[in-house]
Amino acid sequence: MQTFTDGPSDPQRERIFNAPFLPILIAASMPVLFWFQERLPDQGMSMAFRAVDLWQGRWSGLFTSMLLHGGWAHVAMNAVGALAFGTPVARLLSRGLGPLIFVALYIVSGAVAALGYGLCHPGSESHLVGASGAVFGLIGASTRLMGGHGRVMPLFHSAVLKQAGAWMAANLLVGLIGLAPGAGGASIAWEAHAFGFMVGIILIGPLGRWFGPGPDLRPARV
């Protein structure tokens, strides 16, 4: 990642412990929901997503699966990711309907991630759980905010493409090797992560224009 400083007048400089309310709420909800999940008779597996459900007309798992996790390490990993990468996105979408759009982006990223996984594995009866797809949506969105002075960088900017390539390479490597915190021997749905990432990195462009701050009117510096 790259940082750019314009001196003391730089607006909205990132501070680690000054996260907006919504990323904090999402991160805090994960351990709470998992605590309840562990106490369900079926450990919440009836709310997990299965690709076979798509072809049988059951779509609710696209949304409920992101409320579940496979273990406390899985919870911690996604909670940290939601807080870290949700913070710049929430700051961008902080005005008017922006907070509602932030939540919608998170949910849509998670649902499309599960849907994409289902389309890649038609008929599979494996249970897919976790908010990783939604979190990768936030990662994708934040990729276009790094070094952009709080505004969305062009999708095909070289810095954006390099970061996106690094994320997808790491995602593919971890998915194929199967070594990740919280995996617990379960396979990693790297395809879902990729679909969630694509949703975030694409949608943040129009969302930033419609619900983000106005144009940067500061004079260009040479």
- Tell me the pLDDT tens digit for each residue of 38-73: 999 999 999 999 999 988 889 999 999 999 999 999
Q: Which residue has the higher pLDDT, 55 or 184?
A: 55
pLDDT at residue 148 in the model: 67
Task: Note the residue count of the chain.
Answer: 222
- Rounded to whole angstroms, the Cα distance separating 73 from 152 reads 32
Q: For 49, phi and psi rounded to 5 degrees?
A: -95, 135
Note the pLDDT tens digit of each residue in 118-137: 999 998 999 999 999 999 99
- Could you report the per-residue pLDDT of 140-168, keeping only the tens digit for each? 999 999 876 778 999 999 999 999 999 99
Please tell me the predicted confidence (pLDDT) of residue 8.
45
How confident is the model at residue 185, as a pLDDT?
54
The pLDDT value recorded for residue 40 is 96
Closest CA to 171 of 145, 198, 150: 198
pLDDT at 169 over 80: yes
Nearest-angstrom CA–CA distance, 125 and 69: 17
Q: 86-103 burial, b if ≥16 CB within 10 A, otherwise e? A: bbbbbbbbbeeebbebbe
pLDDT of 28 higher than 70: yes
Burial degree of 44 (CB within 10 A; 0-12, 13-18, 19+): buried
107: enclosing H helix or E strand: helix 98-120
> Is the pLDDT at 3 greater than 90, yes or no?
no
